[in-house]
Structure 1
Amino acid sequence: MNKIMEDMRREEFLSVFTKELFNKIDEMIEEKKIRMENVRMLIKRVAYWIELKNAWYYSFEFSELSQRIREMIVEEDWKKEKKDEKLLIDLCKWCLSVSFSTSSKLISICLPCIMKAASNKEENEEAKEEVEMALLALNGYGYCEISEELYLNEIKDIIQHHQEHHNLTRLAYQSAWQFLMNRFDKDKNLEAVIVNELHFVREAIKELEELTRNVNWKKEKEEERRGKEAKEEIVILRWFDIIMENISQCKLRNEEFIRFIGSIVELYRAAKDIHRGICGECIDFLRFAARSEPVKNDDLLKGGAIDVVFEELYQPTLEDENVRYCLDTVLAISGRLEGKTDDEMEEVKRKEMNRKVFEKMEEEGHEDTIASFYGTIDFQNANFHLMLSLNISDYFVNI
Structure 2
Amino acid sequence: MELNAEQLTERFSKSLNELECRDEYEQKQKIEEINRMLDEMDEEELEYILSDELFDEMYQMIEEKKLSFENAILLLKHIGYINVLKNLWLLCFVNSSLQERFETMIIEKNENKKEENEKLLIDLCECYLMLCNYLSNSLFSICIPCLFKVALLKEVNEETQKEVEIALYSISCAHIWNKAEKELYLDEIKEIIQYHQEHHNLTQLAYQSAWRFLINRFIDDRSLESLIIYELNFVREASRELEELAKWLEWRGEKEEKENRRIEKKEAIIIKRWFDSLDRYLVSCKLRNEEYSELIGSIVQVFKATKVNYGKICCWCIILSKRAAENRAVKVDDLLKSGAVDVFLEEIQQPTLNDKIVRELLAFFVAIERRLKGEDDDEMEEPKEKKLKRKVSEIMEEEGYEDCVTGLNYFAGK
Range into which the TM-score falls when normalised by the shorter chain: 0.7 to 0.9
Q: Which moved more, 1:315-324 or 1:157-166?
A: 315-324
Question: Is the aligned partner of 1:155 residue 2:189?
Answer: yes
**What's the secondary structure of 2:177's corresponding residue?**
coil
Partner of 1:145: 179
Following superposition, the deviation at residue 205 of structure 1 comes to 0.5
> How far, CA to CA, are the matches of 1:90 and 1:173 in structure 2?
20
Partner of 2:306: 271
Pick one of 162, 165, 169 that aligns with 2:199.
165
> How far, CA to CA, are the matches of 2:375 and 2:205 in structure 1?
46
Pick one of 212, 220, 223 that aligns with 1:186.
220
Question: Is the aligned partner of 1:217 residue 2:245?
Answer: no
| Cα distance change of structure 1 residues 162 and 338 upon mapping to structure 2, 3 Å threshold | same
CA contact (8 A) 1:327 1:380 kept: no
Following superposition, the deviation at residue 275 of structure 1 comes to 1.2
| Cα distance change of structure 1 residues 82 and 206 upon mapping to structure 2, 3 Å threshold | closer
Following superposition, the deviation at residue 295 of structure 1 comes to 3.4
Deviation digits for residues 134-172 of structure 1, max 9, x if unmatched? Answer: 111122324201111000100111111111111111111
CA contact (8 A) 1:219 1:274 kept: no
Report how many aligned residue pairs link the two structures. 373
Deviation digits for residues 226-260 of structure 1, max 9, x if unmatched? Answer: x3221111111111001111111111121111211
User: Aligned letter for 2:395?
Assistant: H
Partner of 2:65: 32
| Cα distance change of structure 1 residues 60 and 222 upon mapping to structure 2, 3 Å threshold | farther
| Cα distance change of structure 1 residues 377 and 40 upon mapping to structure 2, 3 Å threshold | same
> How far, CA to CA, are the matches of 1:246 and 1:318 in structure 2?
29
Question: Is the aligned partner of 1:356 residue 2:391?
Answer: no
Pick one of 210, 216, 219 that aligns with 1:176.
210
User: Aligned letter for 1:374?
Assistant: E
Partner of 1:290: 325
CA contact (8 A) 2:307 2:314 kept: yes
> How far, CA to CA, are the matches of 1:306 and 1:81 in structure 2?
60
Partner of 1:376: 404
Question: Is the aligned partner of 1:255 residue 2:284?
Answer: no
Question: Is the aligned partner of 1:233 residue 2:268?
Answer: yes
CA contact (8 A) 2:325 2:371 kept: no
> How far, CA to CA, are the matches of 1:138 and 1:44 in structure 2?
13
Q: TM-score, normalised by structure 1?
A: 0.85
> How far, CA to CA, are the matches of 2:375 and 2:111 in structure 1?
68
Deviation digits for residues 272-321 of structure 1, max 9, x if unmatched? Answer: 22211111111112212222334334332332222222233234443444
> How far, CA to CA, are the matches of 2:142 and 2:275 in structure 1?
31
Following superposition, the deviation at residue 59 of structure 1 comes to 1.3
> How far, CA to CA, are the matches of 1:106 and 1:286 in structure 2?
37
Partner of 1:7: 40
CA contact (8 A) 1:219 1:273 kept: no
CA contact (8 A) 2:196 2:202 kept: yes
Partner of 1:64: 97
Following superposition, the deviation at residue 85 of structure 1 comes to 0.5
| Cα distance change of structure 1 residues 301 and 108 upon mapping to structure 2, 3 Å threshold | closer
Q: Which moved more, 1:294-303 or 1:5-14?
A: 294-303
CA contact (8 A) 2:205 2:270 kept: yes
Structure 2 segments unaligned to the other structure (5+ residues): 1-32, 410-414
Partner of 1:393: none
Partner of 2:127: 94
> How far, CA to CA, are the matches of 1:329 and 1:222 in structure 2?
32
> How far, CA to CA, are the matches of 2:385 and 2:147 in structure 1?
53
| Cα distance change of structure 1 residues 361 and 32 upon mapping to structure 2, 3 Å threshold | closer
Structure 1 segments unaligned to the other structure (5+ residues): 382-399
Q: Which moved more, 1:292-301 or 1:115-124?
A: 292-301
> How far, CA to CA, are the matches of 2:144 and 2:373 in structure 1?
51
> How far, CA to CA, are the matches of 1:331 and 1:67 in structure 2?
49
CA contact (8 A) 2:283 2:327 kept: no
CA contact (8 A) 1:20 1:63 kept: no
**What's the secondary structure of 1:122's corresponding residue?**
coil
Partner of 1:384: none
User: Aligned letter for 1:74?
Assistant: I
Q: Pairwise mapping of residues 257-336 of structure 1 onto structure 2 (< 5 A)?
A: 257-336=292-371
| Cα distance change of structure 1 residues 105 and 247 upon mapping to structure 2, 3 Å threshold | same
> How far, CA to CA, are the matches of 2:255 and 2:116 in structure 1?
53
User: Aligned letter for 1:171?
Assistant: L
CA contact (8 A) 2:50 2:90 kept: no
> How far, CA to CA, are the matches of 1:330 and 1:219 in structure 2?
34
> How far, CA to CA, are the matches of 2:332 and 2:114 in structure 1?
64
Partner of 2:395: 366
Q: TM-score, normalised by structure 2?
A: 0.82
Deviation digits for residues 100-139 of structure 1, max 9, x if unmatched? Answer: 4432222221111111111111222121111111111122
Following superposition, the deviation at residue 267 of structure 1 comes to 1.5
Q: Which moved more, 1:297-306 or 1:129-138?
A: 297-306
Following superposition, the deviation at residue 336 of structure 1 comes to 4.3
User: Aligned letter for 1:263?
Assistant: S
Following superposition, the deviation at residue 96 of structure 1 comes to 1.3
User: Aligned letter for 2:341?
Assistant: I
Q: Which moved more, 1:92-101 or 1:2-11?
A: 2-11
| Cα distance change of structure 1 residues 332 and 23 upon mapping to structure 2, 3 Å threshold | closer
**What's the secondary structure of 2:65's corresponding residue?**
coil
> How far, CA to CA, are the matches of 1:329 and 1:21 in structure 2?
44
